[in-house]
Amino acid sequence: MKSRLVITFLAVAAFAVGCKPAADKSPAESNLEAAKDQVETKKQEKAQATKELAAAKKDYAYAQKTEFVKEKETQLAEINRDLEALSAKVEAASDATKAEAKPKLQALREQAAKLGEQLDKAKAASEPAWESVKAGSSKAYEDLKVGFTHARQWVSEKIAP
């Protein structure tokens, strides 16, 4: 019986020594960890690439500042010429039409002046402020364009061609 006890004890001891410790990971677990690390690395690389692309777009937009300002100045000059032609038509109209049109024309002139101020800001804008100034200039132009279209339509309805 003692020999059985000794053999059992030795068998348990041999089994205990031959087993891997619980802290070791299986190859599948190691592969899973490596895959997770690769995914995380790719995510970080993608985030960095996105930041770089955004910065490049911003730099490009700022580099186009001169062309943007030049285009808007040309558009403003065209609207001012059209506004003067519209004013001449109004001057040839009846007194009632003139009285009704003058505030509308004055509002358009004020919008044109506002666009001119926005373009001056755009010329002097620093890179960090560029997007905001550009948006303000674009909005001022669109507002003026819509107002002028309405005024032209109003004049055409009030004054026979």
All residues at 6 or more sequence positions from 25 whose CB lies less than 8 Å from its CB, including other chains: 33
Domain spans in the chain, listed from the N-terminal domain onward: 54-158
- Using the CB atoms, write b or e for 25-49: b if 16+ within 10 Å: eeeeeeeeeeeeeeeeeeeeeeeee
**Which pLDDT score, from 0 to 100, does residue 109 have?**
92
Is this model's pTM higher than 0.75 or not?
A: no
Query: Per residue of the chain (161 residues), what is the pLDDT tens digit?
Result: 667 765 776 666 666 555 555 556 677 777 888 888 888 888 888 888 788 777 666 666 677 888 999 999 999 999 999 999 989 988 888 888 889 888 989 999 999 999 899 889 888 888 888 888 899 989 999 998 999 899 888 888 887 65
How many Å apart are CA 129 and CA 142, to the nearest integer?
20
**Which pLDDT score, from 0 to 100, does residue 81 have?**
94
